[in-house]
Structure 1
Amino acid sequence: MLSAISAAQADAWVRVNQIGYLPGDPKIAVLSSDEPLAGEFHVGDFNADVGVDHGAWGPFAHNYRLDFSDVKSAGQYQVKFGAVASPKFAIGDDAYASVPAKLLEFMQLQRCGDNPLTGKCHQEDGFDVVTGELVDVTGGWHDAGDRLKHMITTSYCVAALFLADAEDEARHGAQLIRKIHPHPQTIYVQIGDDRDHLPPETLWHDDQSNYGRGPGGPRAAWPAIGAPDGPTHQNKSTGVANLAGRSAAALALAGDVETAKSLYALGKAKPGVAMSVPVRAPYYYGESSYFDDMEWGAIELYLATKERPYLDDAIKYAHQAQGNPWMGADRHGHYEYFPYVNLAHWRLYSHAGPEDQRKIAGYYREGLERIRLRAEQNPYRLGTPLVWCSTNDVTALATQAALYEQMTGDVTYRQLGAEARDWLFGRNPWGVSFVIGVPEGGRAASRPHHLFWKLKQHLPVGGVVDGPVSKEINDGLKFGNSFADDELARFQSDVAVYHDLFADFSTNEPIIDGTVSLLLLLDVWK
């Protein structure tokens, strides 16, 4: 048996959650190799057999699931198999104590108008592309590695930050949500567009993009018109209810009930979805659902006002939204089912009657079960699609599992949720945490697709990157780099691709919505 271990050790890897585990969490590492393995693994004083071979998946021919859930004592640990050891990780009630501050550090770095690295920026935002009039849409956050501001994600971030008890950062974003609704019939979906991406990169990094009104002048503010929009490439917008409903939820949580009511009324008057606006390239956020957002707006308004019609609306929209169609699917469109977990179901649940509660819990359970069946097919128990921004899906799954358990007391999906969380922090084929620079001293994303990193070598610590995509998606995109310097080349496969390189905007760009979603997950998980 020992000879079998030593023969394979040179090509074996142990993948774990590099942050660690709460004492009661399921704790399962993955041991992977090119050769079959046998023997015991050790975690502190605990030892057990590596168990059955779960077969080939991704870059590895042999995979073993090492369950050490019985280890509950607080401390620092490694999983060891012969001479092969995992990174160090913590077990304890405070294992995640330092992570939320890192996530919020990234959000502060992304602030538009004034941020810790560049100071003042985009003070001229913006002008209405329909009327040509100047409008004040300063503030908020830059959406990702560039400097655009998408209200599809900003509205979600504000509401989710309030729910995660990150009130200061939430109130920063709420100021912009008020500004994008200057009149009862107006809501802006986007500030700036991919004209910001014109070379040289230093122009838009230094706030010198030109939208026809001079370098550093006002940028385009795109109103949601309720119909397809875009000068060359067009989105498939049909209304504004997704954006209006979610923005109503955000401002109800912020205490601005009158503006929230106005936004909610706009959503009811213009059902359908508002999508971001493509200009030079055909990429846009193609959100397709709005019942969930109107449910969210309605329940937050009910909680703020105690006016019964809002509760009645929330229940109606909940049964129209039902479950999330992406759960259990192989793929979906870019931001098609954003924000991927319907937080309104959770917010509504305790205010609904028994029959409505049964149905709402069922909507969560059905999606979780579809993912569970899909996850059983691989050793990492990854049941979510490997699409662009796949970390959003993974976080949504873990969040829904935690909220379902809170609502019902049913622990069936706790392990599914825990293993999804662990994927984010390094228990994946690459052994990389998809949170930039977290944990400190661990193997985390370190060369992100972010201009602060490329031009200033300033690492945007705490940002959650897009995460792995299928090889098919990665091969279909145009990159300015052959990835010849890919340190993770050994771990790429026909299943999934992830590059810790600036050039890969599909897997390694940090995003505000993914970062806030993880913050909320950590809050509800505890």
Structure 2
Amino acid sequence: MVTRRRVSTRGAERDGSVVATPTARRRAVRRLTGAVLACGLGVGLTPAVAGASASASAAVDGVVRVNQQGYLAGERKTATLMSSHALSGQGFVVEDRSGRVRLRGTVPASDGAWNSRYRAVQRLDLTALRSPGTYRVVVRGAGVTSGWFPVTRSDDVFRELVTKGVAFDRLQRDGDDLARTVLPRSASHLTDRSAQVYAWPDMEEDSDVITDHDLTPSGGTVDVEGGWFDAGDYLKFTHSAAYADVVLYTSSELLGSAAPAALRQEARYGLGWLSKMWDDRHGVLYLQVGIGSGNEDGTFYGDHDLFRLPQADDTDTSPLDRYVSHRPVFAANRAGQKISPNLVGRVGAAFALAAQADARTDRPRALRELKKAQDLYALAAVDDPPTPLVTALPNAFYPEDTWRDDMQLGAAQIAVAAQRLGKPGGAYVADAARFAKERIAAPGDDTLNLYDVGALADVALADALRTVPGRTVAVDRADLTADLRRQLRLGVRASHEDLFGAPVDIDQFDANSHAFGFITTAALYQRLTGDTRYAGFASDVRTWLMGGDPWGVTAMVGVGTRFPQCIQHQVANLAGSLTGGRDVAVGAVVNGPNGADNFDGGLGGFQDGMRRCTSASDHLDRFDGKGSRFVDDVRSWQTDEPALDMTGAAILAGASSLAAAPRTVPWWVRPWFRPGAALGS
């Protein structure tokens, strides 16, 4: 797993007000860019002891964590009872809204202590509860009651992840082509239509603070208007946007005719911006738009030094904000020179997936998209990749250290696109297989997420091996499915070791996106092989994500009864209602729990212009344990800032899981997904 690093911090001084806030942006280096859902949004944390008598609640301090979004009727179902002392041997029941008991059970032995307050954690098996309805768990002898939860259909659960996730992507749109959302927004950053290209600035080590006195122009102007904001701030990155577009196109392909129209539209929207960032004519790939922080001299500011609605930048005339109102663009390479292969692979994959989607309906456009992918692919620096790999400025925003997975994905998708358009693709299949063999021979410990697309690459190559005629190559379908099993076993092992079934270390960054990645990998593996052995694991992971963690907070805004209330997202904070309870950033997925040491410096003050939002009254800190914390506060970049890739992980998990249900998506949507297909067939 990629080791996350934090960028150094400093105080941002504006108008005489010092804000103690980090100055970097990402999970690894998350910067305070603000944001909030209304403090009154959604319902409060459901008390797990609701309805208990005073004497019982005094005797036992306990809560029951359940899947708030809903369990599927036929899947494995678990709930987790955490209590001040062990309740093994106590009876529990599951009752419906009418009070009728639908399931009885006995609390098992404790698996261990979570923290000094909750010294016993006990997993309750609810699998036998199969009838659709709304239920709650009651441990009557201890006076502990869970919140209500549904048992429902797969379409209800997984389609919600897709539709609400896409809604968040639409909220992230920049430029003039804004999608309809619940938030009042105006066109923003129209000056990006004529943005100046600059040389890479020098920066403080592990920081986005620029040490140069000024930026240095290195080219002309380019049109980079549009695209998506990467996270709660307004920076735009080719690296993460390409991943998001791969996710959207892959999800649309998986769902076929069942794909929501908004999903296809958003994939097309993302590709439009990538087409601007890849200058095929001159062989230049532009890397990012905007800078995080200003310089150490204080002669100019960056995106993270301001807290505002995005359209405010277009009328900002302050000389200090000149690189906010007229944002710089940086290139990943000089014209015609080699490009970091991690970027080439994922951007090329996005163009190739678009070509596949357009092959039957708009052949000329599909051919243009295929050419873009192939021209970009030819510039990959596979013989001499840069160290570190190029991702963003600074690199610490996105400290990626793998590239063969990206190149395998790009080559395989180009091969399939070429085949659909009647062009030769065998050489790309051979390349993809070579990258796969090299990657599999030296596997890391990361799994599907923004930084590692190996699972998607394995499935894409399995598709290419089936559909593209060619020579004998370095790997076969058995090798690829074995690699998927290897990745899944990492999650299964972690889930067995965690008291709540988390598939990752929750004292690390990107817990939620990795967890959604495991759901995707399990679904893709099942469709590729017909093997359902990881279905129960995927169910446990979804429960953990949807309220089954120690804090009882779901990963996605607008899903469940207690979701993040105070996300660090400027548009949600400033354009959202603080009193109406509207789901202003529906579909946003936050980072999730993180290492307690990331909070050693505290949360700092509220930035100028920020609407205060904190869920401190929920006392979530009582559920911190094992070196991890979750803080629902607009200042908590460590746990509470959403991002394109995190939400994309949920979209893909939903789409792949829907595709794994034969009644929802026909087997012919992708031939290699045929249930029960023999390996190597």
TM-score (ref. length: structure 2):
0.69
- C-alpha contact (below 8 Å) 1:55/1:61 kept by paired residues: yes
Alpha-carbon displacement from aligned partner over 1:118-148 (angstroms, at most 9, x marks no partner): 2211111122113241111111100111111
Deviation at 1:417, TM superposition (A): 2.1
- 1:419 paired with 2:470, answer no
Name the counterpart of 2:26: none
1:218 to 322, 326, 333: 326
Whole-angstrom distance in 2 between the partners of 1:207 and 1:321:
44
- C-alpha contact (below 8 Å) 1:389/1:506 kept by paired residues: no
Where 2:592 maps in the other structure, the secondary structure is: coil
Deviation at 1:467, TM superposition (A): 0.8
Name the counterpart of 2:557: 436
- 1:92 paired with 2:152, answer yes
Q: 1:341 to 1:206 in 2, by over 3 A?
A: farther
1:163 to 224, 235, 250: 250
Q: 1:215 to 1:404 in 2, by over 3 A?
A: closer
2:279 to 182, 187, 190: 182
Where 1:510 maps in the other structure, the secondary structure is: coil
Q: 1:81 to 1:140 in 2, by over 3 A?
A: same
Where 1:48 maps in the other structure, the secondary structure is: strand
Name the counterpart of 1:81: 139
Whole-angstrom distance in 1 between the partners of 2:551 and 2:319:
41
Structure 2 gap ranges (5+): 1-51, 96-101, 200-217, 253-262, 294-301, 356-368, 420-424, 467-471, 578-583, 607-612, 659-681
Where 2:284 maps in the other structure, the secondary structure is: coil
Where 1:433 maps in the other structure, the secondary structure is: coil
- 1:288 paired with 2:401, answer yes
Query: Which structure has the larger Rg over C-alpha atoms?
Result: 2
- C-alpha contact (below 8 Å) 1:340/1:392 kept by paired residues: no
Whole-angstrom distance in 1 between the partners of 2:304 and 2:345:
33
- C-alpha contact (below 8 Å) 1:261/1:301 kept by paired residues: yes
Whole-angstrom distance in 1 between the partners of 2:152 and 2:168:
25
Where 1:362 maps in the other structure, the secondary structure is: helix
Q: Which moved more, 1:367-376 or 1:447-456?
A: 367-376
Residue correspondence of structure 1 range 376-415 to structure 2 within 5 A: 376-386=496-506, 387-415=508-536
Name the counterpart of 2:123: 65
Name the counterpart of 1:136: 223
Whole-angstrom distance in 2 between the partners of 1:154 and 1:207:
21
Q: Which moved more, 1:366-375 or 1:287-296?
A: 366-375
Alpha-carbon displacement from aligned partner over 1:402-427 (angstroms, at most 9, x marks no partner): 22222223333222222222222111
Alpha-carbon displacement from aligned partner over 1:425-445 (angstroms, at most 9, x marks no partner): 111000001211223xx1110
Deviation at 1:113, TM superposition (A): 0.8
1:103 to 128, 147, 165: 165
Where 1:107 maps in the other structure, the secondary structure is: helix
Where 1:134 maps in the other structure, the secondary structure is: strand
Whole-angstrom distance in 2 between the partners of 1:133 and 1:369:
50
- C-alpha contact (below 8 Å) 1:8/1:34 kept by paired residues: no
2:631 to 499, 512, 521: 499
**Counterpart amino acid of residue 515 in structure 1:** T
Deviation at 1:10, TM superposition (A): 4.7
- C-alpha contact (below 8 Å) 1:28/1:65 kept by paired residues: yes
Deviation at 1:185, TM superposition (A): 2.9
Q: Percent identical across equivalent pairs?
A: 29
Deviation at 1:314, TM superposition (A): 1.3
- 1:20 paired with 2:70, answer yes
Q: 1:53 to 1:203 in 2, by over 3 A?
A: closer
Deviation at 1:23, TM superposition (A): 2.0
Name the counterpart of 2:84: 34
Name the counterpart of 1:241: 341
Whole-angstrom distance in 2 between the partners of 1:99 and 1:374:
24
Whole-angstrom distance in 1 between the partners of 2:119 and 2:271:
49
Alpha-carbon displacement from aligned partner over 1:238-259 (angstroms, at most 9, x marks no partner): 9511111101110111121111
Q: 1:448 to 1:205 in 2, by over 3 A?
A: farther
Where 1:127 maps in the other structure, the secondary structure is: strand
- 1:122 paired with 2:189, answer yes
Whole-angstrom distance in 1 between the partners of 2:234 and 2:627:
32
Whole-angstrom distance in 1 between the partners of 2:319 and 2:374:
33
Higher RCO (Cα < 8 Å, 6 or more apart): 2
**Counterpart amino acid of residue 489 in structure 2:** E
Name the counterpart of 2:109: 52
- 1:43 paired with 2:110, answer no
- 1:471 paired with 2:596, answer yes
What count of residue pairs does the alignment treat as equivalent?
Answer: 502
Whole-angstrom distance in 2 between the partners of 1:79 and 1:132:
64
- 1:206 paired with 2:312, answer yes
Deviation at 1:72, TM superposition (A): 1.8
Alpha-carbon displacement from aligned partner over 1:278-324 (angstroms, at most 9, x marks no partner): 2xxx8421111111111111111111112211111111111122276
- C-alpha contact (below 8 Å) 1:122/1:216 kept by paired residues: no
